[in-house]
Structure 1
Amino acid sequence: MTDSPANRRAEPRLPVHFEVDCTSGDTFLYAHITDISSMGIFISTDKPLPVGTVLQLAFTPRADTAGGPAPQRLELTGEVVWNTTGQVAPDKPGMGVRFHHAAPKTRSRLLELVRAIAYLDVATDIKP
């Protein structure tokens, strides 16, 4: 068993495809979230930021994954905890970002989103 970032995760990540705006100081990055958990995300980008970079993240879940009424934009802070920089021809270039949860309301909304995605993921695997 290798010590890859996937093997170190406390919670499994669920596949998604959300557009995300990332800012850090004067750096602005428009990218995509390809998986999510209540602890963090993987951001797919050809220009991953260095480990330790603190980011302001903003994304709006798609209506089919948020459950209930129209989804609202989530704004969170996170930190790059690993990236694909230095890997030879990574199959998925990007960076793993761990959330910093400041507001209980935001944390609650994030947990609801992840639970809805997990439910939809399981529900689509059920065959009639």
Structure 2
Amino acid sequence: MLSTPFSSLGSHDSDDSALSLDKMKSCAILAVPTEPGGPVKFPVSSSLRHKGKAFDLDAAREVITLLGINGEPIGSLSWDFIIDQILAYRKPQASRETRNDPRVTITFGVKYIAPEGQQFESRASGIGGGGLFIESLRPLPVGTKLALEFSLPEHPSEWLPAKGLVAWVCPKADQYTFSPGMGVRFTEINPDIRNRVLELVKSVQPV
């Protein structure tokens, strides 16, 4: 069987062949990640409201970050948090309207210690049975484990312990959270303390 020369595969002239080869090279370059095993960027192109933004997926840390049109980070979410949200919306509409862990927007003090031992004191602006939101100009990365102490408004001098995990971050103020900071999900909390949080939420929520 005779092999077929490349020149006889089509009616393209030499310029067309060179152009096709250039396209193949470009595709090959685009298909190879610049940093093997590193984050992968996916541009938003179909959404009219968000065209120009991009998603940065970090499989090693299991974090997804939304990037602005200039490449600046807008916010990050852990895959764990995203999965929980998707599973929640698979429930019937009636069950979605009643949250298992309702939250309220209130201001109170919070202290936390990062894994490296850094100690921080800040203000929280929301809480529920599942976690709280800590205001911070330098939120810690998604997935960071924290040792927490927070004081509820009715007893500001009493510090309640808990442990948590940074589930999502908002590095700058936006129309949804209004303040930069991080959402922390409780991973360990005394049932009595959680009940006190739930009672507070219930008392603040409108009837």
Same fold (TM over 0.5): yes
Greater relative contact order (Cα < 8 A, sep 6+):
1
The residue number in structure 1 matching 2:163 is: 77
Q: CA deviation at 1:71?
A: 7.1
Gaps of 5+ in 2: 1-76, 86-98
The question of whether the paired residues in 2 share the 8 Å contact of 1:62 and 1:71 is answered with no
Q: Does 1:119 align with 2:206?
A: no
Structure that is richer in strand per residue: 1
Over the aligned positions, Cα root-mean-square deviation in angstroms equals 2.7
1:1-128 alignment runs, 5 A limit:
8=85, 11-24=101-114, 25-63=116-154, 72-85=158-171, 90=174, 91-101=178-188, 106-122=190-206
Letter in 2 for 1:45: S
Partner residue of 1:126?
A: none
Number of aligned pairs? 109
- 1:52-77 superposed Cα distances (whole Å, 9 cap, x missing partner): 100011112122xx6xxx87421000
Give 1:96 shift. 0.4
TM-score (norm 1): 0.71
Shift of 1:122: 2.7
Task: Give, in angstroms, the shift of residue 10 of structure 1.
Answer: 5.1
Task: Report the Cα distance in structure 2 between the residues aligned to 1:71 and 1:108, rounded to whole angstroms.
Answer: 18
State TM-score, norm by structure 2: 0.46
Instruction: Give the letter aligned to residue 195 of structure 2.
Output: L
In structure 1, runs of 5+ residues without a counterpart are 124-128
Give the drift of 1:29: 1.7
Q: SS of the residue aligned with 1:43?
A: strand
How has the CA–CA distance of structure 1 residues 78 and 53 changed in structure 2, closer, same or farther, with 3 Å as cutoff?
same
Q: 1:10 to 1:48 in 2, by over 3 A?
A: farther
Residues 8-55 of structure 1, C-alpha deviation per residue, up to 9 Å, x if partnerless?
A: 485331111111111012222211110001000011111100001000
Q: Greater CA radius of gyration, 1 or 2? A: 2
What is the identity, as a one-letter code, of the residue corresponding to 2:202?
Answer: A
| Counterpart code for 2:169 | N
